[in-house]
Structure 1
Amino acid sequence: MAREPMRRPRVSPDSDEEDTEERPSAEVKRVKLEKVKRERHAEGSASSSSSSTSEDEDEEEPIPDLDENDESGGEEDDFEEPEYGDEDLVAAYEAAKAHQKGYAGSVADAGVLKSISLVDFMCHRHLTVEFGPKMNFLVGHNGSGKSAVLTAIAVALGGKAMTTGRGQGLKDLIRKGADKAIITVVMANAGTEAFKPDVYDPYIVIERSIAANGSSSYKFRATKDGKTIANKRSELDDISKHFNINIDSPLTVLTQDQSRSFLQNADQGKLYKFFLNGTQLSTLLDTYNVASQNIEQLKNHIKRQQEAIPHLREKVESDKRKLEASRKILDQKAKMTHLLNQLCWAYVADKEKKRDETKHIIEEFDLKVEEAEVKMLRCEKKLPLLTEKLQQGGREAEQFNANQAPLKRAVADAKHMYDEARKEIRSMELETNDLREEIETDKRGLTNLERKIEAKMRLNEPALQAERTQLTDRRARVDALLNKLRTEKPIRQKEYEEKANQRHAASRELEDIQYQLREQESVTRQIQEKIGNLERQSVHRVSAFGAGIEPLMKEIARTRWRHSQPLGPLGLYVKLEDMRYRDAIQSILGGTLCCFAVRDPQDRATLMDMLKRHARNGYRPGSGSNALPPVFMHSGDLFDFSRGDLSTYGETILSKLRFENEEVLRLLITMSNIERVFLAPTLVEANRQMDRLLTDDIVPGCQFYAADGMTTSGNKRAKQSGPYPQWRGNTLFAKDLKADVERAKETLREANMKRDEIQATERQAKEKIVALNNELNGLTARISAINKGFEPAERDLENIRRRLAEMASSDLETTESLRDELVRKIEHAEENLRKYVADMEAKKAALADRIKEIEARQKEVDEFGEKAAVKVGEIQKIAQDIEKERANRAHYEKSKQSYEEKREQQQAVLNEHEKNLEDWTTQARNFCPTRVETRHKPEVIERERGVLDKSIKDAERALGFDSTQLTIEYKARKKQLHDVESNLKSLVIMHRVLTKAMNTRKQWWSETRSHTALRARTAFVVFENLRDLDGRLEFDHDKERLSLVVHSTTRTQSQDGTTQKSHYKTPKNLSGGERSFSTVSLLLALWSTVPCPIRALDEWDVFLDAANRKVAASMLMNGAKESDGKQFILITPQDMAGIDVSGPDKKVIRMADPTRNQ
């Protein structure tokens, strides 16, 4: 902008008339701002020194003068306002604009309005307006409710109804016919400048409700339909303060009425106040004024303190003179002081002696506690061994009972069979007697028949008598042989059957022995494996959880897993605190502790493949099973299990374990409920604790595992108990591996001895089977020989009978036939008799064997009873030893507790002694900082002090005053004087620092006000010049006035030539168009200095013609474009024809036409 430099006269602020006087132009001189020189003061701190009656008075550092070097040059009146010519300012402004040509300001992330919603507010039933982040033109015909939107913004952000010019109160803003109005404003709240970003994100929703009675309420939410976060006006004040929103300032919201009459009604004082309030300089000035008042109050306080010092110093000098007059008494008091020093430290020495004696007593109790712990540890080491022996003895006793039961049943069965056999033998004897009588009768009849036959033979054929006699004798011999064979055969067959049965029984017994031998060899191998595993555990603890597991663990460590490395074996992260419950916990958790856990299904598949591959190379889990251990899935949730933990009511599995991994802890809680399963030393104790828990309704049901191998569970209605399964896997928990190896080796020696006994029994059984086989072979040969002897004897007997029949005559045939028939009957009867006799003999033999068997079984039963009695005795002895060890442990534990209680008592005494010693030492140090050693007891020093004290009092009575009290008062007054002077020095220094700081702040404030005024003045000149108006802002900071003048030039033609006249117009003399344009120029000039992010202007183009309106709109849009984080809301009843409103930073909001019948 090129124009002739000219000097402008200052127009009187009280003149409303146009000034037509011609004024020549002149050069504007720039006055340089002189720099304010500041002096630096060296501040020193007052040093304190202790006063003594024998020393001269300490020389005090002089107190600095309060008014010395008082800086008053920082007041704003001392600041000289720089003067610049309009041309220089405009040139600098245009140069800056040229430098940042094309600059576009950033869009605000917080503090600007996103939208506003009106319900029953003024003329709107329901309206929602969405705003852009930069320039917004709200366009609509008169009566469409544009100004209502601006009024709603002001009211929602805390403005008063009267300032909007739309009513006397809030109730006047409610739409006619409605009972309340609601305004909802959505404000952006993101980025680094956000207000409470953790609460309001990404918006702040401000809702103000207005009731018909004029009351109103606020609601603040993070989203439109979200939960109400606050409902107090103070929240709005915090938001406004955070974003520098002063809603009542015309620079923030200029309503329709204010825009029309803003410059016309504002005088110079109001304009200046408008400038200070809009730029918030007035707020800073008020703060500085309050601080200056406080500094002045501090100055008055310092003066009062300075006035009191001479009187206090005079009292100190007076006391000093009196003390110098009592020098001898002071010497005695010095000796008294030394005695008191000795006395206080003598008391300390006495307290130290008592403390040391108590410490010695505590050390003795510590030794006793340690000794009791050692004895308890010995008992705890013996208890597992004795418990294991007791369990083994119990199992052996159960085996004895199990083996004795079939023997007793066998004895009972044998006796029953014996009784039945005796009954059968008696019956057979009766039948045998009957057969014998019948045979005897038949034989007598046969004898009579043979006599008759012989008599007849002698009569008829004497010559054949010799041959017949020979045949008869021969027949008798053959009959005898056949009778012998028939009698022997069943006997030998019976013997064969018995021997075969014996061989079969011996074979079964051998099979049982061989099964026991295999089982014992398996037990031996398991013990050997256990010893090897325990020895490997001493090198790698992970060996407890499987054979060949080391290569598997190395591969797991090398592998890259999708989520994380598997956990496992789980027992690797678990430690057992109480070894009494090792068997129980291994039985419950053993299998689970050998397993693994992963977080991802793919990792689970990878680990399963890895386990299968290593299983083929010899890996076996430590559970004793050949099956692969399960791989569990877990989420890693470290949930809170405290509500389900029952450890407060008794010992649980969880209370006896220590975990190195919290995830493993949660896994065992989830899978095995370790926080709810109780433990007890014995089954009796478990039942007692269970009764207590159920009776007190602590739990509805529970389960206990006892260290003696038993478990019990149930509720109030039913209970059950029994032995829990023995753990067959590796030893997972070991407190002393060396002792466990020695115990396992001892068990191995016993197992080897038992295996040798079984092997010896096996050899005897085999020898018995060989002997029975030999006997069976002999019996088989004899039975075969008997069978072979029957056929020739029977054939010979048949020939003899045929020959005798041939020799008989016809008369004898009938008799011979009768004889043969009788012979056959006798033979048949004898055969039956032989069978009965053989059966009876066999029965008798079996009966004899049964008796032997009964005796043998009874003997075995008796032997088992004796062994069982011995075993019971051993078990009782072990149980007694266990009870003895438990009693000893309880005794030592009780003794330990007693010693600990006594130690705690002595510790309390020691603490009391130490506290007393500390108090006495502190008092002694306060009284005498340097320790004074003495060999005298406090009582001796007390007596000496009494004598010296009497002497001092006698001397003081003679002198007339108490030197001790005087010394105390002298020291107190001297200390008071020193403290007052030191405090006064600090206050003077503080006053200087505060005065200097306040002067600096006011200097800065004056400079800032000057720079802000220059910026606004320059911008106003530039904006006015855009319409060929020569406007300016004149600031008079001394009188707090701001004048706005517009210079215009008119040319008139006359006979004398062209005459040029200058016109200087104040706001009241401006035309409507000039006033509207100047209003826009002034607002734009001041807006650039205001931090508020919102600018709202109603009817900004009132009285502007099309050309001026276009220029004003361009000015506003450029200002909005170049501003950082500012939002403009401009309201006009005219359309935007002829004005370029394109671009992302401009938004035109068109209001609907008004409803005329509303």
Structure 2
Amino acid sequence: MPPSKRPHVVEDDDDIDDALRTEYQNSQIASSRKRPRVYDQSDEDEDEAADPGHDDLANPNHLDKIDENDDDDDDNSFENELRERVNTPPRTQYEIMRDADWQHLQHEELDDRVATQKVLSRPVRTGTNSAADNGIIESVTCVHFMCHERLHVELGPLINFVVGENGSGKSAVLTAITLCLGAKASSTNRGGSLKSFVKEGKDQSIIQVKLKNRGDGAYQHEIYGDSIIVERHFNKTGTSGFKLKSGSSGRIISSKRQAIDEIVEYFCLQVDNPLNVLSQDNARQFLNSASPALKYKYFVQGVQLESLDHDYKLIEEILESTEAKLKSYDGNLERLKHEAEEAHRLAKIVRENDQLRAKMQLLRTQLIWAQVVRAENDAAEAQANVDRQRTIVAKQETRLHATRTAIDEIMNKQLEFKEMLGQATNEYTCLEQEASGVEQAYQDIKNDVLQLHQEERIARERFQDAKAEIATLAVKVKAEEERLDAASGDARAKKQQELDQAKKTLEDNRQKNDELRSLMPGLQQQLEEASTAVRNIQKPIRDKQIQISDVEAEISQLRRSDNNYLDALPPNMAKLLDLIKQERGWTSPPIGPIGRLMALKKPKWSTIIEKFLGATPQGFIVKTKKDMDILQRLQQMVNVRNSPIIKISMPTLDLEGKEPPAQFDTILRVLDIDEPIVRDALIINHSIEQTLLIPRRAEAESVMFQSKPQNAAACICFHDHPGKRGSGLMLTTRGSNLSTSPIDRFNGGSRMRADTEAQIAHRQAHCRDLRNDLQELNGQLSIARQTQSQCQNEIEKNKARLEQIKNDDRHLRDHITDVEAELDAFEGGDNRLRALKEALAEAEQREHHNGTQFGELSVRKREENAKLQTIKGEVREQREKLDLARNRINEIKASISRYEDSLRLAQSDKVAAEENFHVAQELLEELLERLKEEQNQVISIEASAQQTCPGRVAIDPGDTYESLSVKYRTLLEQVQTLQQRLGGSAEEICEREAQALDAWNKAKASIAELEAMQTLMRTSLTDRIERWRYFQRHLSARTRVNFQYLLTERGFRGKMVIDHRAKVLALQVEPDEHRRNAKGRATNTLSGGEKSFSSVCMLLSIWEAMGSSIRCLDEFDVFMDNINRAISTNMLITAARRSVSRQYILITPNAIEGRAELDKDVKIIRLTDPRQRQITDMI
């Protein structure tokens, strides 16, 4: 199921004041009672004088006003078009219902006043604009796209100006965004198909958009990470495809178009919205040459009114179709009622003929039990044959024990080395993780050292240049002062003393600055240590969250597998079981899957025992080599893997005196096993009768290592580490050697029969423990973060003190400059000394700044070099440890391989002994199988007889199965004659009655449910259309008012005419603000700059009503002069800052710096012509 849309933040407008709300309610009441009045020119003139910005074009009488006051031919053509559209009636019933006679648009003046109050009450700017956590574009990359070999653009999170010459790739960036996020090639106006976008001479093109994906509203953050990479590739043949990648790992998540659409819909990017992504051609058409009808179309598409209208129209069509279907169902319901009544009549006739059927039923019962008597006689004869053969087989029972002892010894050795391998592997994994961390730290420090070397070299060169310049200027200042001292008096001496005092204070401030700067490395070190502590706690938190997710997944899987146990077994197991049933060549059918023949009494041990038994619960047991070969062949046919086959043909094992004391639980004692042969297989392969189960580790170690019970081979306990909940430990002893090896928890579905509810309850308790651990870790994280915050605050305070000293220095330097100017005045305005001193002061400031920077870099370089040498030794040491651990693992694996070869040889010897025993046992098995078949036949026939005719009936001594059959057939002919007359048997007629009644009742219920749903959907549609009208009304008013206030940025006056009935949108603008009584002119009478400025105002007013997180505009200022361009650019920046967390991508071929209010939220991206880049590369 596709994810739901993320929640978008809605900017709430201020409430309407009480007086305005009262006026609105009175106007609604009065509008339903007042009569239409004849239009009066004097009234109109008064209204216009009182409110020049008032727009009454929604009233058809306004057309008369246009005729009387505007002689412009273009305006007359617009009015003619408006009349034609107004007089066009709605085309469908849906449009009549939707528009509701345009009553919601009858109070346009009041709507504009409400919108005006909201705009005026809006704060200018309450704070710094903040970037969105998700749903914005971080970068765009194009390879072999259009005329670009490779184009990469990093976008800012808020306002982006992409500037450059023609052919530099500005429009290519916007085209790449549109195509990569799923739009069609034709929508870009750049090409009719994707292959036209491939660079000339290249076969394939790749475009890539990187989306930000952080915060609470991130899209599937656990899969994609902090960013989502959307990649689209296409070639000259016309084929194309998508790839969705994780921004952190680069892993491909999906290649389906549907996944792209879901992400675009989730983030509400609206790349197909013509006003959200305005390409170069669309921008020029919309901003300069669009007709009123086309402007209106852009408006309703941009604010999503058209999309909502299409959706509601589709719902209306569905409702009408459903109503038509409901009318057609009436005839079907009547037919079903007639069929039910006819079926009931026939069933009533059948129920009246019970005597004949009762006699027939008695004969049928006697026939069934006569078959049981015959099967019992055959089973008694088979039992006598088995008894005679059993005495012959008993002499061969003792020949298999020697091979069994040898196999047990080899398996014990093999188990010991496997435990060693597990320990060695865990040690290697830990070492490998440590080595990886050390290697990464070494590389990071190495990169830092290289960067510091470069920065230190640059700082040293700047410092030396500043010192040389100071020496030169000092000589010049001294010479000039000596020349001027001869002509100065006491006043000059006082000023000189004042100048010296100011310089001394400046030097003191410099020393304080050095002291504060010396404290910064220590504070930074404390902050780094606190941050490291936070990171060290975050990893266990993530691990704990993963464990919680795993346990919850196990609970879900247990709930699902309760209905189908095959889900926990290897794939295609159901097919294998069907083939086993169909196979007829078995000596004895296989027993299995083994896990379904045993039940767990204590669910708390489920995950550990499942892991300990390995693949055995999903295996089978056979008794002969022939059956083993057949089963292997069937497994290969259906591709069932990891399902072992265990061959056992020996008698049941005697465990007398071979188990630990009764007070200890063993795996065997917590299992309820149905078949003895299954128990023997688990004992032979896993020693379950001698493996103790003790929950607590301390108690288990005490039992195994201090006072080991008799016949105890191993002990399993729960892991005592909080991070290993659900896992276990195996404790074993081999002479004086003590061994402890881990047993990971089993993460699959339960393969054994068990109380599912109990297992779920056990895992839920485990999940609660994990959550408690997570809560404790979160508390530690909170403390660590508090320490981190304190360190950060201390650094900020220190920076604030440094900034204060910097400000004091700036004031002192200004004072020094003033005093020096006064000293210069003593000599009749000689400015040479002052200029030299100013140059000297600037040089000293540069020398101090560069010297401080050089010193700090030198200290940092020495510290980083020391760290580099230290960690380099750690890297070498970690590599040596890894080599030793790897060699030890290889040695253990070689030993395991040798014991596996020995085990195969011992098992071959055992198979040979079994084959020798098979000659004597085969006849007994055949007789036992025959006896079993006869007994099963008796049980089956008797069970079938009990199910069909409960209770055994008496059979007359002279009656046999054959004589009873003759009587039954005679009676059956009579019953069939009755059935032919009625058209079926009694059961069939009664069944038809039940079916007919059920069909009738279901049809009635279905029609009632459809009618209720139809009513509910009709009510919902009415409510949604009412809200659509509300959106249409207030979005129009807000857009009109915003347009008027945006025009005032240049002192223009005007208004926007939005006529929803005529489906036109027109602008009337008066550039001369001194013509107070002049009516606004149509846009086609304005100059190019005025027209573009007015269109930008219209675009910004519409953008206020749009909710997408990104907004793109290409070459918005191409027809503007410098004044209109500067004002329009500042208006765009102001509107962008007002739209919090929205990303703007604005493309212009012109420069930005001198005409925009730039800040840190504005990013200017300069692109160069690819041909120029090639020339630069060649040079």
Q: TM-score, normalised by structure 2?
A: 0.44
Task: Decide which structure has the larger Cα Rg and report it.
Answer: 1
- More helix by proportion, 1 or 2? 2
